Structure formats: C-alpha cells, structure tokens
Chain A
Amino acid sequence: MEKDTHFILGVYDDEDVLLQAVEKVRSTGVKIHEVFTPYPVHGLEDVLGYKRSRLPIAAFLFGILGTSLAMTMQFYMMRFDWPMIIGGKDYAAFPDFIPVGFEMTVLLAAFGMVGVFMISSNLKPWAQPRIFDERSSDDKHIMAIDLANNSTMEEEKIREILASSGATEINKKSFE
C-alpha cells in the first residue's frame, strides 16, 4: 500500500506552550497544516493566522434566497394560481406574506449554512476522516505539519523546531 502524504506531529501537553509554539513555528517559516485540541483553545485561530469564516456571507445569501422564494411563491399562489379573498383583503396582501417570508428566510439560511459548512469542512458521509492522533480527543494538543507543504525544509529541521518549541513527543504519520 502506497502512502503518499506524510505528516510530522508535535504533541503538546499545555495550551499556553501550544500557543507560543504555534507562533514560534510559524515564525520559522514552517506551514502548519492543522492543530487539534481536545477543547477550544482561546486565541488559537489568531496565532494560526486564520482568516475569518465566510460562512455568514453564505447565510446571508441563502436568507435572501429564502425571502425571495417565499414572496414569489405566495404572490404566485395568491394572485395567479388560486386567487382567494381572505378577510376582505386584496389577493396579494403583502403584510400577510411577511410571517411566511420570515420563516422561509430562517429555514433556508439555517439549512444553507449547515450545507455549506459540511461541504467546506469535508463532512460528507462517505468522507474518510484522517485520525492524526487519538489523544487529541483526550488530553493532548496535536500540531500537524504536512511535509509536502514544507518541501523546502528538511524533515530533521522541522523536528528540531518542534522539539525546541516545547513538544513533548514528535511523531510521523502517513496517509494514503
């Protein structure tokens, strides 16, 4: 079986050490693939230099889609498909459409956001998750470095950087 992606894994015991290690490792030019922690570590996104999620934009667009669909649907039904006079109002009584419009906005924004999140996070049911180190769901913080992304640097050098940044263990893991 051919293994074609190789990762160096730094294992850290303490979140403060981890945060400083991330800053230190990044300052040497090593690109970090991902950091796995058992619980949310405050400030980790900042030191990793992550850009803000664009998920709210998706939510907004899906929300607008929901509003438009709801309004179009109700207008078509009430004005053209099956016009009905309800409570002496016009066929297309706009205030009546707002509750349904609101609900559809919320529904599509929520569904759209969940869908986009699952696609962008590769959470499809048939996806094979890469388990780097099972202890990242217990008591260890795992910093994963993709060797393919750091081809300019020697593997030994990366191991040295990790060791000097406070990693208690340095492992290698390969995936297909």
Chain B
Amino acid sequence: MAHHSEQHYNLEQRFDFTAATKKSIMTVLVIGAILLGIGIILGITGGGHEEAGEAGGHAFHWYERLYANLWINNVFFTGIAIVGVFFFAIQFAAQAGWSTPLLRVMLSFGYWLPFAGLLMLATFFIANHDLFHWTHAYLFDKNDPQYDSIIDGKGAFFFWPMEKGTFPIFFIVRMVLFFGLWVFFFKKFQQISDQEDQLGGNSHWFKMRSWSAFFLIFFAVSSSISAWDWVMSIDTHWFSTLFGWYVFASWFVSGLAAITLLTIFLKGRGYLEMINQNHIHDMGKFVFGFSIFWTYLWFSQFLLIYYANIPEESVYFIERLTSDVYGPFIFVNIGLNFFLPFLVLMTRDSKRHGVFLKLVCSILLVGHWIDFFLMVQPGTLGHNGGIGFMEVGMFLVFGSVVALVVLGGLAKKNLIAKNHPMLEESYHHHI
C-alpha cells in the first residue's frame, strides 16, 4: 500500500551467542547433570531389591533406566531437529512467503542431527538387550524354550539379509540411511541458501523447492519407519498401523513449539525486527492446530483398540492404564498436550502475544516428552520406571546441549535469507 512508508531492515544481522546466554544454558546443564547424578546414585543404592524375588525375570539394573532415558530424549530431540528441517522444506513446497525471515531459525535445528545420529547408534549398541527385547538370539531359535514365533515372524524386518538373531543389519542400515540422508538434505538446504545469499536471483528458490519436494517424499517414508524402528519395536509383539503418524505428530508439535520459542527468544533479544504479531500468530496457529492433530491421532489409536478389545492390541493400553507408575501420566499427557493448548490458544489474542505462547510452548515440550516417556518406559522398564531425578536430569542435560548446538549453529550465519525473493512479501504479512 502506497501510504505505508518503505521499511528498511538490517538484513545482515547475525545472532550473537553471548557468554551470558552460554552461561545460563550451562547452568541448566550443570543442574541437569547434578540431578542425573543423584538419580544414578539413588538407582545404584536403592534399585534391584524388589526384583530379587521375581521368578524367571532378570534382575533390574539401574543402568537400564539410564539407557531408557537416553533413548527417550534422543528420539524426542531428534524429532525436534528433523522437524526444523521438515518445516523449512514445507515453506518452499507450499511456496510460503510469510515465513521468510524465520527460515534460518527453522533450519538451525538441523545442526543437532549429526549428533543425534551418532548418539542413536551408540545408545543402540550399548543398551541393546536392555532396550530392545527383539535383540535376544534365543527368541529366534526353535529349539529354545523361550522361542517366540511372533517375534520370529517379524525377525526379517531387523536382521535381513543376515540370519535372525545375529546382527540387526537391516535395522542399522535404515538408521544410518535415515540420519545420513537427513543430514545430507540439511547440508544441501544450507548450501543453496548460502549461494542465494551470495548470488541472489530467483533460481535458488526454484532449486530449493525441488530439493524440498524430494526431502518431503523421503521424510514421509523415513519418519514413519523410524517410528516403527526406534519406538514401536520396543513393544515387539504389539503393533499399530498409525503409529508412524502418531510419533510424527508428536515430533511436529514439539518442533513447532521449539521454533516458536526460539523465534520469541530472538525477537526478545532485538533480532528479527520484521517479525511482528502476525507472524507470531501464524506460528501459534500451527501449534494450536497440530496439537489437535496429535490428539486426533492419539485418540484414533486408542478408540479403535479400546473398542475392538483384541488382547494382542489392548495389552499396550492395559499395561499403561492399570499401572500405578504410568496410569496417571496418560491423563497428564492428554491434559498438557490437548486441553491446555486447545483452551489457552483458542482466542486470537493469546496467539498474538508472546507471553501465552511462551508458556504453552514450554509446557508442550514437557508434555510431548511425557508422550515419548509413555511410549518407551513401560516396554523397557515396566514397573521400575517413573519420573524421578534421572528423568528430569537427563531431559535438562539433553535440552541444554541441544540448545548449545542449535544456537551455536545459528550464530554462524546471517539470521535472514537476505536475497530470498519473498522477503518483501513477508514484511507485509497481515492476518
């Protein structure tokens, strides 16, 4: 509009990862490490007593809980990292203009991906039997009394082309392939974005759109399969056909909450001055909408299993709902991840003001961590699990390390894609 004065923003701005910010993140890291340490000490001194009398069951060790925690957080934060890249790609596939100043913020979460991949591999090899029941060789030996025909039937999914019960080559190849290609696409997006900064023009945008489309196709398949591999295979007997989408939805909401929080944080520091309430409003809408999407999938999974009541399916919810440890968290999960964002973010004003969004997004990050806690712990730890020092400590340690890596990466490059053809459009975003 002609009567609006032409705006001039600083497009060369760069996030300054100050010592003070680093220090406050380090403080959280240290607090987390102390809590984790207390948890480990409590585990070493207090664990293993009640299991002594269990006939046939193996004794419970404190480190199993440590492994389970590593796995929960690694799956959770991998999700946040890849959703950053995914949401970036969505902007190009959808030819979105409003989000242009946020593109580098989204993409910066991908910096965590290489670390997440290495941690995932390492944790798998260290924890092995303690996390994944299907890794035991005796399950596939027909002469063994503990032979399990159901798991034997699923064995090829992990071990092909090797013999079942040996080395899970197919599983490992998938893990390496997914992380490898995710990191490859992340680097590719960065490279094209850097070239655009230097050369300008529209050709990089078209190039990015093509690469985004390829990434989205790959991500559609890989996100589902990684959910089966890394989460659903813990409860090896059980299966749910929409589990991939359910995990993706949880990842997506967490990722959107993290992107929103980082945007509000940067805005509070005086960066991204072209981001106004309208952009924040759109992020709020995404968080609101996909919280409902997550609930829809959670409930679809639950209702069908509850209604049909087939023992091999309903065992998953019976294990959780009848447990003293996990039962209450089912309702905490629904409360934090559905009712809270649904009721708080329903009005327009709450989506336009940072205070509400900061609150809801922070709670959502905890809420979806609880969602992953409920997916992983019952199948790995049974009644020895729960939320204690170890869980809180590990979450804080992971969270602060991810924050250090992501913010460190963000500080390396300009915050704004200054030659993006839709930058001008995003200034005038108005809803």
Question: Which A residues are within 8 Å of any B CB, using their own CB?
Answer: 16, 19-20, 42-43, 52, 56, 60, 87-89, 95-96, 98-99
- Nearest B residue (CB) for A57: B347
CA distance A60 to B346 in the complex (A): 9
Cα A106 to Cα B307 in complex, Å, equals 23
A16 touches B346 (CB 8 A): no
Q: Pick the contact of A95: B2, B3, B302, B347 (CB < 8 A).
A: B302
Total of A-B residue pairs, C-beta within 8 Å: 28
Measuring CB to CB, which residues of chain B are less than 8 angstroms from any residue of chain A? 1-3, 299, 302-303, 306-309, 346-348, 430
**Residue ID in chain A nearest B430 by CB atoms:** A42
Contact with A19, one of B3, B307, B346, B347 (Cβ below 8 angstroms): B3
Contacts of A96 in B (CB 8 A): 303, 307
Residues of A within 8 A of B346 (CB): 60
| 10 interchain residue pairs of minimum CB distance | A16-B2, A95-B306, A95-B303, A20-B3, A87-B309, A87-B307, A43-B1, A16-B1, A88-B309, A98-B299
B425 to chain A, nearest CB (A): 13
Q: List 7 A-B contacts (CB under 8 A).
A: A16-B1, A19-B1, A42-B1, A52-B348, A56-B347, A87-B307, A96-B303
Bound-state Cα–Cα, A87 to B303, Å: 13
Chain A residues contacting B308 (CB-CB under 8 Å) are 87
Complex Cα gap A60–B342 (Å): 12
Name which residue of chain A comes closest to B308, CB basis.
A87
Residues of chain A lying within 8 A (CB to CB) of residue B347: 56
**In chain A, what residue has the closest Cβ to B349?**
A52
Which residues of B are found within 8 Å of A60, using beta-carbon distances?
Answer: 346
- A19 partner residues in chain B, CB cutoff 8 A: 1, 3
Nearest B residue to A14, CB-CB: B2
Q: How far is the CB of B394 from chain A (nearest CB, A)?
A: 33
Residue in chain A with minimal CB distance to B309: A87
How far apart sit A56 and B303, CA to CA, in the bound complex (Å)?
30
Q: Which residues of B contact A87 (CB under 8 A)?
A: 307-309
With A16-B2, A20-B3 known as contacts, the answer to whether A99 contacts B303 (CB < 8 A) is: yes
* Alpha-carbon gap, A87 to B1, bound state (A): 62
> Whole-angstrom distance between the alpha carbons of A165 and B249 in the complex?
53
CB distance from A68 to the nearest CB of B (A): 16
CA–CA, A60 and B348, complex, Å: 13
Cβ contacts under 8 Å, A98 to chain B: 299, 303
Report the separation of the CA atoms of residues A89 and B308 in the bound assembly, to the nearest whole angstrom: 10
B3, B302, B308, B348: residue with the most chain A Cβ atoms closer than 10 Å: B3
Question: Which residues of the other chain, A, contact B309 by a CB distance below 8 angstroms?
Answer: 87-88
Which A residues are in CB contact (< 8 Å) with B2? 16
CA distance A172 to B380 in the complex (A): 80
CB distance from B260 to the nearest CB of A (A): 22
